Amino acid sequence: MDYATLKALKPTEFSDAADGFRRTGDMASAAQDRIEKQITAAMRKPLEGEAANAALGQLRELAENFHYTRVECGLISTALDGFAYDLEAAKKKLDVAVEGAQAERFTVNSDGSISYPPGGEKVDGELPKGGTVTGLTDATASAMGRQAANFDPNPHHGRAQQYADQIATALKEATEADEKWAPKLRALKADDDLTVSDRDWADVKKDAGGVLKVAGDYLDSIKEPPKDGSPKENAEWWDSLTAEEQAAYVALHPAAVGALDGLPSDIRDEANRAVLSETQATYQLELASIPQEPTKFAPNPNGSYPAVVQTQAWQDWNEKYGERHAFLTNSLKGMNAIQSRFDATGKDGLPPAYLLGFDTKGNGHAIVANGNPDTADHTAVYVPGTKSRLEGAGGDIGRMQEVWDASDQLAPGESVSTITWIGYDAPQSVAPEAMDKHWAHEGAPKLNQFLDGLQTVQGGADASHTTVIGHSYGSTTVGAASQQGDLAADDIVVAGSPGMLVPDADDLDVGRDHVWSEAARDDLVPVGGKVAGLGGLKWDVETWNGVPYNVGYVQVVPSDEAFGAHRMDVDTSGHSGYWDHGSQSLWNQAAVVTGRYNQVKEDD
Amino acid sequence: MAWDEWEQLKTAAVERHSAQMQLNQLPADQQASGSDGSGGRGGPWDSGGGSGTLRSVKAAWTKAGEGVGSLRESISQALANLEEGQKGLGKDLGCMTAAAQRDVYESWQRYVKRVSGRCGALAEILEKTGNDQLKTDEAVKAEIAKLKTEYEDTPALGGQAKGR
């Protein structure tokens, strides 16, 4: 970049362009919301059939156009702000050098060279001549230039050389900024068709990475989020940013923003959904690139025992691709379930969904809310148990849809948000993993942080009536959370609990009267939990038909009378029936969630 | 709404329905009345869940069309904002990023305009379904199929047109 160009460039023109893109992104965001949360939602109840489905399909695609536009505009505006930032820095250097030179009565020429007048002590009766110097940025050339200046009896020479070098440095930085930003920006050109394909989302992800790579200086100028901050600190950090800075963070660090407890739910949803779309697309493309799984079994060529053996082709395939194939398939199952939930808004009155957490690390995690918790009168957070992972999100999301539906019926006119929280690493087997307490102890702080985060955005402990629902080992995690901190909840419901690590409902932060247990007669988990030692210990006398047979510390779990919790009626069977549509088990949970305690049907 | 108003609507709908063309290719006697919400064999005016009157079903289509159509206004506003942000960047500034920005701007102007067109086309189909101009599932699906071909993926160009 030459002097004349840099002199004429105005960084504000680039930030103005960034504003234009940002506003376009905002429009796209609002349009996407209108389609998903209002237009399609309003169509689902009254309309049915092939025509309606075709129309809804088109609306889904239109929403994708807006989603894509929103994410890309976020990247473009951030790139332009980033370039403006770098350009501004170079221009400042330039201006300082030019002002300095001009203050010393040097002339800054149109090519950036500097002309200095005669000056210094007369030599042989003559004033040392003036001259013109050009800036040098190369270290060696620069040193040589300074040396030459030192030999000149005209002191202006050295000064002029300094200014010229500063100008050259400014030009070099501006050129570097221009060269690094141009290709990253150019990559953000719009697609030339209106189908947002997997390839398109994968490109968005790649292009975002490209912008992130060169945005270092710009990002460094923005205050970082607090490391391991509390929800309150995270909220304060977010509020301290300008709109441009917030947009930059969502564009370049969507996963981090989406995971920050304390931030508004619609921001987390926006960030996480970008990650969801990009991840779905890249995983689908990767899966498509893996060769098809060969037939696994073939008749044993070497006799009749065993009758079939694994084919060599399959073994080779499995060694090379097996693990990755399983990971991609399972992750996609969960992601598709989440996407289905978004597509189902409006069906049977389902409210809009919010993706408050999402990642594919470890077993994969997801936090999906039915209805915005930030403004809900009643909030429920469901902690699932053993074998919970991203892959199974569909079923767990479905359960909270049922709770939402029942709660909505019990509390007309009041807003309810039910949240599926697959936010911890759950044990993946009943035995041996679920017999171990460490999952609960490690998951507990995450649950506490999440609940604190909700409390923060809702505006305090009294803002929303909150119920935590723990199923199976999830209830153990709730118990651990209660032990470790102050559970930010008003009521605790547990279903099929193997134990909550404490012996009495009073030991949980909500108070004994606010602990509600469900356990089906044929649910074997509570007993199994005692065997595994997940309950609390109470000194007790165990009797059989009135005859005492054991005195000592015994395991107490929430379904025991001794625990002191409300024991709600259960008309479903087994360990997983508690959310069966229309069941008393479900209604009881909804009654607690909506604070209609007198509608709970319980023993005694 | 008041019960008698409801009854009036129902009666009016039944009368209208029995005089109307079939909603799909089935003979009229096999088709359950859409107005009492018992759910016909399907058709754009079939009420989901058996709960709506024929009028409310058609109103739903029309409302959806109006909703999608109204998006075009926000889009024009956004395009105006986008253009305003370009002031000062139109001329050749001698800098690569500015040239890249120009290309990016023009590509998004095109894209957003096309999305606006898509909104308009879809709104028209939705409204036509709501006001009797499209009467069968097949008719609606055919119109939608026409839309789809216009917006299909062009993978051959999609990646490269971005000019990395």
Report the pLDDT value the prediction gives residue B91, as an integer from 0 to 100: 75
Model pLDDT for residues B55-106, shown as the tens digit of each residue: 788 999 999 999 999 999 999 999 999 999 998 887 777 899 999 999 999 9
Contact B108 A24 (CB under 8 A): yes
> Tens of pLDDT along A292-337?
999 999 988 888 888 889 999 999 999 999 999 999 999 999 999 9
Among partner residues B43, B52, B115, which is closest to A49 by beta-carbon distance? B43
* Residue A470 β-bridge partners: A383, A494
Rounded Cα distance between A502 and B160, Å, is 61
Q: Is A252 helix (H, G, I), strand (E, B) or coil?
A: helix
Length of chain B: 164
Nearest to A80 by CA among A16, A25, A1: A16
The pLDDT tens digits for A48-76 are 889 999 999 999 999 999 999 999 999 99
Chain A residues lying within 8 Å of B161, measured CB to CB: 189, 191-192
Q: How many CB atoms lie within 10 A of CB A92?
A: 12
Q: Is the ipTM of this complex over 0.85?
A: yes
Residue A280 confidence class, pLDDT cut points 50, 70, 90: very high
Q: Is the pLDDT of residue B24 over 50?
A: no
Query: Under 8 Å CB-to-CB from A431, ≥6 apart: which residues?
Result: none
Lowest mean pLDDT among A63-77, A183-197, A588-602, B89-103: B89-103
pLDDT at B163: 39
Minimal C-alpha gap between A46 and chain B (Å) = 5
Distance separating alpha carbons of residues A220 and A190, to the nearest angstrom: 28
Q: Please say whether the beta carbons of A400 and A380 come within 8 A.
A: yes
Rg, chain B, Cα only: 23
Most confident of A133-142, A259-268, A425-434: A259-268
The bridge status of strand A515-518 relative to strand A566-567 is parallel
Asked if A589 and A578 count as a contact pair (C-beta separation under 8 A), the reply is yes
CB-CB neighbors (< 8 A) of B47 in chain A: 46-48
Mean pLDDT over A408-429 rounds to 96
What is the distance between the alpha carbons of residues A87 and A174, in angstroms, rounded to a whole number? 6
Smallest CA–CA distance, residue B141 to chain A, in Å, is 6
Q: For residue B155, which residues of chain A lie inside 8 Å, CB to CB?
A: 197, 199
Which residues numbered 154-183 in A keep a CB inside 8 Å of some CB on B? Answer: 177-179, 181-183
| Calpha distance B161→A369 (Å, rounded) | 38
Mean pLDDT confidence for A96-119: 93
pLDDT at B155: 66
Residue B7 is predicted with a pLDDT of: 58
pLDDT given at position A528:
92
* Test mutation, B75, B82, B93, B101, chain A, max A CBs within 10 A: B101
Q: What is the DSSP letter of B153?
A: -
Please tell me the predicted confidence (pLDDT) of residue A307.
87
Mutate to test the interface with A, among B35, B55, B74, B95 (most CBs of A within 10 A): B95
Q: Are B113 and B121 in contact (CB under 8 A)?
A: no
pLDDT > 70? residue B5: no
Say yes or no for a CB contact (<8 Å) between A66 and B86. no
Scored b (16 or more CB within 10 A) or e, A413-441 reads: eebbbbbbbbbbbbbeebeeebbebebbb
Do A362 and A396 touch, CB atoms closer than 8 A?
no
Calculate the average pLDDT of chain A.
94
What pLDDT score was predicted for residue B30?
39
At residue A542, the pLDDT reads 74
With a cut of 60, say whether residue B33 has pLDDT above it: no
Asked which of A158-167, A215-224, A397-406, B146-155 is least confident by mean pLDDT, the reply is B146-155
Q: Which of A21, A179, A188 sits opposite B85 (nearest CB)?
A: A21
pLDDT of residue B29: 41
Of the listed ranges A58-67, A177-186, A467-476, B7-16, the one predicted with least confidence: B7-16
Residue-wise pLDDT for A342-363, tens only, equals 999 999 899 999 999 999 999 9
Shortest distance, CA B131 to any CA of chain A (angstroms)? 15
pLDDT tops 70 at residue A42: yes
Only one residue has tokens 């509600």, namely: A516
Confidence of residue B31 (pLDDT cuts 50, 70, 90): very low
Is A19 within 8 Å of chain B by CB?
A: yes
Structure tokens at A597: 């305690």
What would the DSSP string read from start to end of B84-152? HTTTT-SS--S-HHHHHHHHHHHHHHHHHHHHHHHHHHHHHHHHHHHTTSS-SHHHHHHHHHHHHHHT-
Q: What is the reported pLDDT for A549?
A: 82
Question: Band of the pLDDT at B13, cuts 50, 70, 90?
Answer: low
pLDDT one-digit tens code per residue, A368-387: 999 999 999 999 999 999 99
d(CA A29, CA A22): 10
Contact A272, A357 (CB under 8 A): yes
Give pTM, 2 decimals: 0.88
Average pLDDT over residues B116-120: 96
The answer to whether the beta carbons of residues B121 and A46 sit under 8 Å apart is no
Which of helix, strand or coil describes residue A113? coil
B6: pLDDT strictly greater than 80:
no
Tokens of B35: 């107005």
* DSSP state for residue B22 in the 8-state scheme: P
Mean pLDDT of B125-146: 90
Tokens of A213: 């790579």
How far does A85 lie from chain B, in Å, by closest CA? 13
Are B97 and A185 spatial neighbours (Cβ–Cβ below 8 Å)?
A: yes
Q: Exposure string (b/e) for A214-244, b if CB count within 10 Å is 16 or more?
A: bbeebbeebeebeeebebebbbebbeeeeeb
How buried is residue A548: exposed, middle or buried, by Cβ count under 10 Å (0-12/13-18/19+)? exposed
Nearest Cα to A55, choosing from B164, B32, B161, B147?
B147
CA distance A15 to A341: 38
The pLDDT of residue B17 is above 80: no
What pLDDT, on the 0 to 100 scale, is given for residue A439? 95
Residue A421: its pLDDT value, please? Answer: 98
Mean pLDDT for A511-533 is 94
Least Cα distance to A425 among A396, A482, A391, A387 occurs for A387
